[in-house]
Chains A and B, each alone.
Chain A
């Protein structure tokens, strides 16, 4: 079932490629239908998922490159399940949301988006390190094209910077994977990249530290953890709206997912040792991102920097290494995907009409677009973590987890909550209220039903998660416990001496 889910969008992309030229509407509809079909499949995965188990479920394995010990292995647990759900929701929304803004080369665009969905799903579901790396890198190609072909005026620079920055860190992870494989071959007596087998390998602290550093660097660039965030504002600013939505909602989560998935499983001691450093960087990121957001004059850049701040929260929860922190982080990954994805779409709605992203070019928009104003308010409050919206639950859990480790962490983190309210409300005020100084008032037409439809699932989730987060937390709880359990018991107690039956 997971294999079908991963490759369905790719098959859809191939179908889209067969549509003759000059029929953009057919392409749009087919793209949307494929992503909706993937959402249905994802819903079936959620239905088949057993929340009481903390292990990996629905595992599928096949031989892939036996000569190198590389296998095809996919599986889902509470950690990846939430992100798969997020991907399933965000892609149809992003595709629908871009119907108005992408008018050139619609076919190539749709193919890139669907290919991206396959790569992202594969990243979250892979249980083999080489397979994981293949998907992880494969994400870059369609994303770099989305930025570089459909992006803003400075798109080529942003796309290449995005690509090189993330890839430079990723190849270090690949070398670490190869070294881990070589060490494991000595201990396990077989060549394997299987995550569950590699988790049995006992690594001494020095090696573990180096390998974790390589993995952590790749993930930290993706998150992005301060001070590795400099690619993000450029990529976000130049990307087309849907590109920004996917980038913020899904791609950044690949980094935080990597910490939660691989840290406890492969490098438990190193993760514990690095936690204070990660927390410190996270806190700097929270405050720095918020402060810099406040100083932006470009609306999209403002939201890009707010991602640095929000992802700082996620990292803080991970660094807390306790149940509240992890749970809060997982939930906040989903929340940030919804809220920030929606915020980028808000900017997109304005940009499609006026073709400017400067805050100063707007003013008094609320009077011309009242329904849009209401929508913006909801999204804004969710991003600022107002109680009753999804953001509140996640940030509250993270701060709770952080507080249990150190009151200082929580205190500094709260500063970020306040600042985020400040810059978001400030931006809202600049754009929506005040005198009608918008540069192109005549173009500010009310939001269309199609645009509203694209927002609908996100708004529904904002309130659903805000009021009743249990279904999500229940599903991740067992997996989070299992991950934390690995941190508490040293690895040598887990090692299974020899001779497992070959798979």
Chain B
């Protein structure tokens, strides 16, 4: 006898809002004249903001036979996911219009991926977590391939899809092994079962496979190799969005699975995660040093940031987990912001992806250059920006947790010194005079040559001039991200509430 469990739809209100808006966007695209597609973005962003506002007001609850939970972590994770979604939507239209890719599907896919990340935050069951992970991943695969005219975008989509499917299989196998040893997929029951009996080899293997599945999404070393290729091939806004939203989904799930469910067994997993964190920080930062492509540099930078975040999960104290949430918020702002600056530029119909393309930006668009410099400084973790405060929070919690934590903090700070080299190089390029090749003085003073438009999209040549595009929505995204980076840098307490309610769950 199976009875249909009650369906508390009220619990799902934010998800339903996002889903509804996604459907509306998809359908409205069929009737809207192309000139008015801007409305789609506005509607999508409004939906994300409304869902976030709605979610923050909903009370705690568990539903759907204990597979879905709404608690502090859900609220924090969903707010982050929706913030990332809103930013990801805002940076897209300018780029899509330029490349002739402006379709409602794009915004639909972004919203659905955001929905996946929201569900990951709310999963209290490994199977729901798997479904949510796929809801997040599949739209991202498609987004990576949205650059229809570009072979590299297609390649990125296929590569991401194949490797991602592989990682999902690992995850599912891990779920199977855990189920085999504990007889359940509900996280609290798994935690209880693990605490009650000695950890068996198959259970440990199962948890290890879960780490691989989530580690792939978060781009932890050694599961990171897809990231630079996919970011490089994917259209700029898609790369911007996936770098942030996948990280939010994966890290919220890691927090849910490790400190919250397996907190009693911290001895078994914190050393493993700590080692992965060290590896990720070191490899990410060292590899980023060598990049000449802005996207690849940001890809390795996002890997490095995954390492800093993982330090917080590995330490696993309430304080550390709260700091992880704050870090994700800051990362969403500065990560998207760094991409957004690049989206405003274009070289001969193609993406301005070489770091050298940003030479002379300060003379042509001073505010954009200031914002770009700010994001670089914040990514490097220098005060007075959010990047510093986020790092301080995570590493302070690590140092409080004893000697292993101190070592993690030490590695984290030393690798951030390395990162200063590649971030500041970009900032200097932005503030240095444009080189004579490529940009003529006329263009530097804002006069755009007509012949630059003659080059077909996707066939940008190295010598072509770098042009500046800015639209109100893109400017808004840069402004919001910059404001968030400054505010979290100067008054970090104003965003501490999100992390605090997650920390409270662990106390």
Contact of A178 among B366, B396, B421, B492 (CB under 8 A): B396
Let me know if B216 is at the binding interface, CB within 8 A.
Answer: no
Q: How far is the CA of A138 from the CA of B424 in the complex (A)?
A: 14
Question: Once the chains bind, are B416 and A68 in contact (CB under 8 Å)?
Answer: no
| B210 CB, min distance to chain A CBs, angstroms | 30
Q: How far is the CA of A16 from the CA of B366 in the complex (A)?
A: 14
Q: Which residues of B contact A172 (CB under 8 A)?
A: 410, 413
Q: Which residues of B contact A167 (CB under 8 A)?
A: 417, 420
Question: Once the chains bind, are B496 and A67 in contact (CB under 8 Å)?
Answer: yes
Q: Which residues of B contact A138 (CB under 8 A)?
A: 382-384
Question: Once the chains bind, are B420 and A66 in contact (CB under 8 Å)?
Answer: no
Can you name 19 A-B residue pairings with CB atoms under 8 Å?
A63-B493, A108-B366, A137-B383, A138-B382, A140-B382, A141-B382, A144-B424, A149-B431, A160-B421, A160-B424, A160-B425, A171-B413, A171-B417, A172-B413, A174-B413, A175-B413, A178-B396, A178-B399, A182-B400
Question: Once the chains bind, are B420 and A164 in contact (CB under 8 Å)?
Answer: yes
Q: How far is the CA of A141 from the CA of B382 in the complex (A)?
A: 8
A interface, CB within 8 angstroms of B: 63-68, 105, 108, 130, 133-135, 137-138, 140-141, 144-145, 148-149, 156, 159-160, 163-164, 167-168, 171-172, 174-175, 178-179, 181-182, 185
CB 8 Å contact bits of B409-439 with A (1 = contact, 0 = none): 1100110110011001100100110000000
Contact (A145, B431) CB under 8 Å given A164-B421, A171-B417: yes
Let me know if B130 is at the binding interface, CB within 8 A.
Answer: no
Q: How far is the CA of A232 from the CA of B500 in the complex (A)?
A: 44
Q: Which residues of B contact A134 (CB under 8 A)?
A: 383-384, 388
Question: Once the chains bind, are A181 and B396 in contact (CB under 8 Å)?
Answer: yes
Question: Once the chains bind, are B399 and A182 in contact (CB under 8 Å)?
Answer: yes
Among B322, B383, B425, find the residue whose CB has the most chain A CB atoms closer than 10 A: B383
Contact (A179, B417) CB under 8 Å given A134-B384, A145-B431: no
Q: Which residues of B contact A159 (CB under 8 A)?
A: 424, 428
Question: Once the chains bind, are A171 and B406 in contact (CB under 8 Å)?
Answer: no
Q: How far is the CA of A130 from the CA of B382 in the complex (A)?
A: 13
Q: How far is the CA of A68 from the CA of B428 in the complex (A)?
A: 33
| A326 CB, min distance to chain B CBs, angstroms | 30
Question: Once the chains bind, are A175 and B417 in contact (CB under 8 Å)?
Answer: no
Question: Once the chains bind, are A68 and B421 in contact (CB under 8 Å)?
Answer: no
8 tightest A-B CB contacts, nearest first: A178-B399, A171-B413, A134-B383, A182-B400, A168-B417, A67-B496, A137-B383, A138-B383
Question: Once the chains bind, are A65 and B417 in contact (CB under 8 Å)?
Answer: no
Q: Which residues of A contact B409 (CB under 8 A)?
A: 175, 178
CB 8 Å contact bits of B376-390 with A (1 = contact, 0 = none): 010000111000110
Contact (A175, B406) CB under 8 Å given A160-B425, A168-B414: yes
CB 8 Å contact bits of B300-341 with A (1 = contact, 0 = none): 000000000000000000000010000000000000000000
| B417 CB, min distance to chain A CBs, angstroms | 5
| A204 CB, min distance to chain B CBs, angstroms | 15
Q: How far is the CA of A66 from the CA of B319 in the complex (A)?
A: 13
| A11 CB, min distance to chain B CBs, angstroms | 14
Q: How far is the CA of A144 from the CA of B322 in the complex (A)?
A: 33
Let me know if B228 is at the binding interface, CB within 8 A.
Answer: no
| A134 CB, min distance to chain B CBs, angstroms | 4
Let me know if B375 is at the binding interface, CB within 8 A.
Answer: no
Q: Which residues of B contact A65 (CB under 8 A)?
A: 389, 492-493, 496
Q: How far is the CA of A268 from the CA of B428 in the complex (A)?
A: 41
Q: How far is the CA of A144 from the CA of B377 in the complex (A)?
A: 12
Question: Once the chains bind, are A185 and B400 in contact (CB under 8 Å)?
Answer: yes
Q: How far is the CA of A182 from the CA of B397 in the complex (A)?
A: 9
Nearest-CB residue, chain B, relative to A161: B421
Among A137, A171, A182, find the residue whose CB has the most chain B CB atoms closer than 10 A: A171
Question: Once the chains bind, are B420 and A163 in contact (CB under 8 Å)?
Answer: yes
Let me know if B506 is at the binding interface, CB within 8 A.
Answer: no
| A400 CB, min distance to chain B CBs, angstroms | 40
Q: How far is the CA of A141 from the CA of B493 in the complex (A)?
A: 24
| B420 CB, min distance to chain A CBs, angstroms | 6
Let me know if B362 is at the binding interface, CB within 8 A.
Answer: yes
Q: Which residues of B contact A67 (CB under 8 A)?
A: 322, 493, 496, 500
CB 8 Å contact bits of B353-389 with A (1 = contact, 0 = none): 0000000001000100000000001000011100011
Let me know if B237 is at the binding interface, CB within 8 A.
Answer: no
Q: Which residues of A contact B400 (CB under 8 A)?
A: 178, 181-182, 185
Q: Which residues of A contact B492 (CB under 8 A)?
A: 65
| B160 CB, min distance to chain A CBs, angstroms | 34
Q: How far is the CA of A167 from the CA of B419 in the complex (A)?
A: 11
Question: Once the chains bind, are B493 and A149 in contact (CB under 8 Å)?
Answer: no
| B297 CB, min distance to chain A CBs, angstroms | 15
Q: How far is the CA of A64 from the CA of B494 in the complex (A)?
A: 10
Q: Which residues of B contact A63 (CB under 8 A)?
A: 493
Q: Which residues of A contact B399 (CB under 8 A)?
A: 175, 178-179, 181-182
Q: Which residues of A contact B377 (CB under 8 A)?
A: 141
Nearest-CB residue, chain B, relative to A64: B493
Let me know if B392 is at the binding interface, CB within 8 A.
Answer: yes
Q: Which residues of B contact A175 (CB under 8 A)?
A: 395, 399, 406, 409-410, 413
Let me know if B147 is at the binding interface, CB within 8 A.
Answer: no
Nearest-CB residue, chain A, relative to B401: A182
Among B366, B399, B409, B421, find the residue whose CB has the most chain A CB atoms closer than 10 A: B399
Q: Which residues of B contact A149 (CB under 8 A)?
A: 428, 431-432
Let me know if B393 is at the binding interface, CB within 8 A.
Answer: yes
Question: Once the chains bind, are B413 and A68 in contact (CB under 8 Å)?
Answer: no
Q: Which residues of B contact A182 (CB under 8 A)?
A: 399-400
Contact (A137, B382) CB under 8 Å given A67-B500, A149-B428, A171-B417: yes
Question: Once the chains bind, are A68 and B417 in contact (CB under 8 Å)?
Answer: no
Q: Which residues of A contact B432 (CB under 8 A)?
A: 148-149, 156
Q: How far is the CA of A358 from the CA of B490 in the complex (A)?
A: 45
Q: How far is the CA of A106 from the CA of B168 in the complex (A)?
A: 55
Q: How far is the CA of A66 from the CA of B424 in the complex (A)?
A: 31
Q: How far is the CA of A137 from the CA of B385 in the complex (A)?
A: 11
Q: How far is the CA of A175 from the CA of B394 in the complex (A)?
A: 12
Q: Which residues of B contact A164 (CB under 8 A)?
A: 417, 420-421
